[in-house]
Amino acid sequence: MSFQAYLDTVKAQTGKTVSDFRIESSEKRLTKHGEIVKWLKDEYSLGHGHANAVAAALLKAGHVTTPKDDRANAVFSGKKAVWKPTYDALLATVQTFGDDVEIAPTDSYVSLLRGRSKLAIVQPGAGHLDVGIRRKGVEATERFEAAGTWNRMVTHRLRITDAAQVDGEVLEWLCAAYEAAK
């Protein structure tokens, strides 16, 4: 689920927007993430993920309004900028799978979604690019290792150290993940 999807669900459940929660939390003088999450869980019966998203939106007001492409560009800045062309090419290919491919950038990686379903994440490092792919029920291989605790939102992890490693096999895995994310 994308960050915005969490906020949309909260609005549907409570009838309140982030702005409404901002006013209330200000009146209650809540300024710390943990106390905001507790308040939202206690007073509005929100689950942890939903309360966490609202708290993050309250404390990082510009995060929600910053365009997705700008947030994705920020992930690929500084020493990680070397991976931006690889990410752009990978995203362009994944977008050919269907017109329902979306991105959901965080502060450290970009999720690739089909509608609301995550199919992959792309996380740059200075010397490598990690691609996490969600393929439930598919055995790990030497190349596509089990994601383990690296990121529990995906099942497999591929570490790229050269852009040429994004080959047909990687694209096949991503296409299969897209197909499964209906």
pLDDT digits (tens, 9 = 90+) for 78-107: 999 999 999 999 999 999 999 999 998 888
pLDDT for the residue numbered 1: 61
Q: Which residues are bridge partners to 112 per DSSP?
A: 103, 120
pLDDT, mean of residues 117-130: 95
Distances (CA, A) of 172 to 38, 116, 123, 145: 43, 21, 19, 16
**Sequence ranges of the domains in the chain:** 3-65, 68-180
> Is pLDDT at 16 greater than 60 in this prediction?
yes
* The model's pTM: 0.67
Q: 23-27, 157-161, 170-174: lowest mean pLDDT where?
A: 23-27
pLDDT at residue 63 greater than cutoff 60: no
Region 161-168: mean pLDDT is 96
Angle between helices 3-14 and 33-44 (to 10 degrees): 40
